[in-house]
A = this chain, B = another copy of it.
């Protein structure tokens, strides 16, 4: 790499002056400016960001923590975040984290990341982490309002004659499982009785297809009556669909299934999965935007994303005989 020193020598100015014109941070006479620019161009000089970071204390590098990178939902959030980041000169690294690992957060801090996006819906880390870079949390700084979508979903099911709706929870109930709470609320709102045996709690904190399959298997083994299943997210719903089909139960004739996230891929499933749109790309944008504000020390605003129930082919009238 060519350094500032070489540019200074070629342009016959001091190293400081090179910085001044490169960063456009001080008035410089046009002639000097031109000389420096010419030298920069000729040598192909680019400032060493590591050195710059050491003095400015900012790396323009943020991290995004997810619990399952394979979930396309996170890819969309990431793309959203990157769209804002690249405009602002930031770069974002995604890391898969098993648990909310204090150690790995500390390592990120020592790497000098300017901020961290917690994209997984888990508990906060910076509460017991006084130091460390600014953080934003999905569910907190960007709040996703599932209540209306879940209300609509339950309403739609009730209208079609469903009374016994199961839920595959994924995230354990002892953690903040907003979607579960919203579901309980929605069930009440529609005058249904909530049968606790139709609620399958999460086990290992995973929320992927395998967990969906596991939870569905568990649900079936309970021998309770149900005509609809709401899974925490689309991946779990897909796992549940697989188990359901393999058991010989028809979708949607025998059981209706609903997911959440509105993954792009769903449009290619058959039957097409009913779900809730959560505008993941927009969530990513908002998270990054808020993080940048927080980094700059601006008063932290927060953002609410509305979600929306999308009824597709996996939902049908109860008792419909085909």
Task: Report which A residues bind B (CB closer than 8 A).
Answer: 1, 44, 46-51, 53-54, 59, 61, 69-70, 72, 75-76, 78-79, 82, 91-96, 106-107, 109-112, 131, 209, 238-239, 241-242, 264-265, 267-271
Contacts and interface: CB of A to CB of B under 8 A. Distances in A.
Contacts of A44: 131
19 contacts: A1-B110, A46-B109, A50-B54, A51-B54, A61-B93, A69-B75, A69-B79, A70-B72, A70-B75, A75-B75, A82-B95, A82-B96, A209-B267, A238-B268, A241-B268, A242-B267, A268-B269, A269-B269, A270-B271
B76 A110 contact: no
A99 to B, nearest CB: 14
- Count of this chain's copies in the oligomeric assembly: 2
Given A70-B75, A96-B82, A270-B270, A46 B242 contact: no
Nearest to A238: B268
8 residue pairs, one from A and one from B, having the closest CB atoms: A46-B110, A93-B93, A238-B268, A50-B112, A270-B270, A49-B111, A50-B53, A50-B54
Nearest to A92: B93
Contact of A93 (B69, B91, B96, B239): B91
A91 B69 contact: no
Contacts of A82: 69, 95-96
A274 to B, nearest CB: 15
B70 A96 contact: no
B270 A46 contact: no
